[in-house]
Amino acid sequence: MMDLTAYSVAELRFWLFMQRWGTRQDELTVFYRTAPTAAWIPLQTYNTSITAWTEEVITLPEITNQVQIAFEGNARFGFGVCIDDILIDGNIVSTAEKKPAKIWITPNPGKDFFTIRSDREEIREIDLYDVTGKLLFRRSDINSPEQRLDLTGKEGGLYFVRITLSDEVILRKVTLLP
């Protein structure tokens, strides 16, 4: 999820290679949505042979603070759909720089309990993921600059914590001692 509200115009840029094999042509459709529960809207479909890396540019029709982009490849036995160097670019409304929030997770490494603190913003949500990217739990409606994270009963090892603030999302690693 991306907050694009700093842009007056936002463009999705990526490089594409998608060569036909005989009469077989793969297909790529690019989608976007403006909120997590909104319907996916197709932006562009590519269904012709592209025999050299080509930069594609799509202007996003709507800018919100919860934009999501998806690429759907349909393998039809061509040489495959290859995309690279995906970028959101455009015209920024304000040049005033905002410093990212500072997040502390202590103790790290730790056993059973961790404390997560933000220097300036309230923590809205915390997600915990294992090393495979599986969501283990989500805690919402926190609205506090400090939150205690209880990992009692979890297996020792590396975990990822996704911390959502009012206008920023931060990903951190935590090591749970056995």
174 in Cβ contact with 162 (< 8 Å): no
For residues 164 and 134, give the distance between their C-alpha atoms in angstroms, rounded to a whole number: 17
Q: Where does residue 112 fall: left (phi above 0), alpha (psi -120 to 50 degrees), or beta otherwise? A: left
pLDDT in tens, 128-162: 998 888 899 899 888 888 999 888 989 999 999 99
User: What's the whole-number mean pLDDT along residues 65-72?
Assistant: 92
Half-sphere exposure of 163 toward its Cβ, with a 13 Å CA cutoff? 29
User: What's the whole-number mean pLDDT along residues 68-79?
Assistant: 88
Tokens representing residue 61 in the block: 């029709």
Q: What's the Cα-to-Cα distance from 128 to each of 1, 52, 103, 172, 173, rounded to whole Å?
A: 17, 41, 15, 10, 10
What global pTM score does this model have? Answer: 0.52
- Domains, in order of start, for the chain: 7-92 (2.60.120.200), 103-176 (2.60.40.3080)
| Between 167 and 29, residue with greater pLDDT | 29
pLDDT at 120 over 80: no
